Amino acid sequence: MTTLETPAPVTTGRPGIRPPRIVASRGAPRVRRENTLPAVAVAEALGADVVAVDVRRTADDVAVLLHDATLGRMWGDARRVADVPWCEVARLGNGLDRIPRLDAVLERLEGCSATLLVGVADPEDAAAAVDTVRGSTAGVPVAWRGSAAAMTAVRALLPEADVWLPWDALEPPTAAHLAALRPSTLDLDVAFLTPATVRAAHALGLAVAVWTVDDPEPTRWASRLGADLLLTQDVATVHAVLAAAERDGWPVPSREPSEPEVAGRAQALAHRIAHEVVAFTREHRIDTDAGNAAARVADVDRSIEQHVRGRVRAAFPQHGFTGEEYGVAPGDKHRWYLDPVDGSTNLANGVPWTSTSLCLTRSGRPLVGVVVDPWRGEVLEARRGRGATERDRVLRLDDTPRALAGAVVGTELDGHRPWPGFAAFVAALAARSCSVRVPGSGTLTIAQVAAGRGIGACMPAFDPVDHGAAVLLVHEAGGVVLTLAGAVSEFPPVGAPFLVAHPGAADELSALWSAALLGAEQER
């Protein structure tokens, strides 16, 4: 099988940058239905260097082009393709817009310059695809990508195969990662693309393939970093961007965007992401009776974070990112903070009180924040200097004095234990007929104060990943944020206990909270 070699450097307007090869993901899905013969033909005609397709097997082990495990999204049939024989699969669709067999695609690409990249999800799909490729006489160069298990199966069945190594970490690969699979290419989501990863991959002799890149700026950014292949669903756009760069040089921004420009774009993006998270979380509701709920919660955590990182990287490729699951990615003065699922214990136990927190900072100052409550379908949003909202409702706390009697104060445990001073604080509030709630998601507990639900909330330690968006919400809603040293106008120090409060109750609540914390310190 032909290997997808790293292209040789070419002379461009900026020496050292070489244009990556274009990989048409699922053919040309912006033009024709994905993973069909027309989509493959259009991708090849548009000049794709590689045509990538997804392969599944039918009930009678025929390798066909399909991304999902079921026929529902694309073909209106809810059955798993693995449960349906080829004779029934072949009848779906109309005209040329039908599910093709893999051997038909190999025949279509015979004599063309494009390589075929076969994506497989599991070892059984891989076996069916390998059998088809082995039996083909078309002579089309073939490479393979997919899950680690599927790639291991391909390597075992086809020792000479050109196999790609799936990579879903920010840490660069090492030689130890290559020993078993012997890949030619590192295959990673744009969310995990960093200069260190590119350097490490190239030092190991690997090409770097990045997915999914559809827009001009991430195309240029990934190319500057040294990506060798770009997987795209918009071949025409990426081809035009790369052609322009080769002709005119690789453009750099003529000026740094202003804070309002960045904040405006970021707020619109965060709003869209928040509603995508609502839909995803509801679709992936955890069945607490099925066993191993914690592992499925971890999968949801990672899936949300990878999705959000990819969405942010596509819009703001030079921004830094810190997430709960995958850690820190380098960037410029802007940094996003994400907690994909705050309240994972609740989620694992079927308690509908979890949240997602996404916050953008510029040189450490919060600019934009959203807190997502997927169970109520609420998205609470804030932008620095522009206030806070939930749907069409402006969140605004007046400064009218508020009594603690009959009110509710939220807090969270320090891990699984009460924080030092917890009991004294609860007792002091109880003496004033004020109730304490420990709901299980610190992000959402703080954000509720901004929404006027509860008179205050306190946390044992500030972390911008967990609390950055919620603290910005409180500030923009007119609430008060305090540490033991007094009120803060931006973020509390990392690791410091902090309190948020309705302005009309902040003084009294702060006095009780401070006394409880200081008393606990004196007892130690």
Is residue 253 included in any domain, yes or no?
no
Query: If we measure between CA atoms, which residue out of 154, 218, 149, 220 comes closest to residue 189?
Result: 218
Look up the CATH number of the domain holding residue 444: 3.40.190.80
In this structure, the answer to whether residues 426 and 362 fall within a common structural domain is no
pLDDT tens-digit profile of 225-277? Answer: 999 999 999 999 999 999 999 888 887 766 788 999 999 999 999 999 999 99
In this structure, the answer to whether residues 207 and 302 fall within a common structural domain is no
pLDDT band at 289 (very low <50, low <70, confident <90, very high): low
DSSP per residue over 193-256, as a string? --HHHHHHHHHTT-EEEEE---SHHHHHHHHHHT-SEEEES-HHHHHHHHHHHHHH-----SSP
Q: Judge whether 473 and 395 are in contact, CB under 8 Å.
A: yes
Q: What is the mean pLDDT of residues 510-523?
A: 94
User: 81 by DSSP, 3-state: which?
Assistant: helix
Is residue 3 included in any domain, yes or no?
no
Q: Which of 178, 213, 248 is the last residue of a domain?
A: 248
- Residue 291: per-residue pLDDT: 66
For 283, the enclosing helix (H) or strand (E) is helix 259-283
Q: Which of 395, 428, 457 is the last residue of a domain?
A: 395
349 to 182, 299, 414, 438: CA distances (angstroms): 41, 15, 19, 16
In this structure, the answer to whether residues 33 and 97 fall within a common structural domain is yes
Range of the domain at 43: 21-248
Query: In whole numbers, what is the pLDDT of the chain averaged over residues?
Result: 93
In this structure, the answer to whether residues 273 and 204 fall within a common structural domain is no
Q: Which two tokens stand for residue 111?
A: 């004599």
Q: Which of 395, 428, 448 is the last residue of a domain?
A: 395
Asked if the model's pLDDT at residue 413 lies above 70, the reply is yes
Q: Judge whether 2 and 115 are in contact, CB under 8 Å.
A: yes
In this structure, the answer to whether residues 293 and 334 fall within a common structural domain is yes
Look up the CATH number of the domain holding residue 318: 3.30.540.10
Is residue 106 included in any domain, yes or no?
yes
C-alpha span between 284 and 307 (Å, rounded): 14
In this structure, the answer to whether residues 37 and 177 fall within a common structural domain is yes
pLDDT tens-digit profile of 129-172? Answer: 999 999 999 999 999 999 999 999 999 999 999 999 999 999 99
pLDDT tens-digit profile of 483-501? Answer: 999 999 999 999 999 999 9
In this structure, the answer to whether residues 418 and 508 fall within a common structural domain is yes
- Residue 295: per-residue pLDDT: 78
Is residue 192 included in any domain, yes or no?
yes
Is residue 358 included in any domain, yes or no?
yes
Residue 518 CB burial class (10 angstroms; 0-12, 13-18, ≥19): middle
Q: What is the mean pLDDT of residues 449-470?
A: 97
Look up the CATH number of the domain holding residue 70: 3.20.20.190
The CB-side HSE value for 19 (13 A sphere, CA atoms) comes to 22
- Residue 254: per-residue pLDDT: 66
In this structure, the answer to whether residues 143 and 232 fall within a common structural domain is yes
pLDDT tens-digit profile of 177-229? Answer: 999 999 999 999 999 999 999 999 999 999 999 999 999 999 999 999 999 99
Could you identify the residue written with the tokens 């809810």? 78
For 520, the enclosing helix (H) or strand (E) is helix 506-523
State the helix-helix crossing angle for 422-430 and 506-523, rounded to 10 degrees.
140
Is residue 8 included in any domain, yes or no?
no
In this structure, the answer to whether residues 376 and 291 fall within a common structural domain is yes
In this structure, the answer to whether residues 243 and 313 fall within a common structural domain is no
Domain count, the chain: 3
In this structure, the answer to whether residues 69 and 209 fall within a common structural domain is yes
- Residue 36: per-residue pLDDT: 98
Q: What is the mean pLDDT of residues 516-524?
A: 90
Is residue 64 included in any domain, yes or no?
yes
E strand residue ranges, 374-412: 378-383, 387-390, 393-395, 408-411
Asked if the model's pLDDT at residue 16 lies above 80, the reply is no
In this structure, the answer to whether residues 503 and 474 fall within a common structural domain is yes
Q: What is the mean pLDDT of residues 377-402?
A: 96
Is residue 133 included in any domain, yes or no?
yes
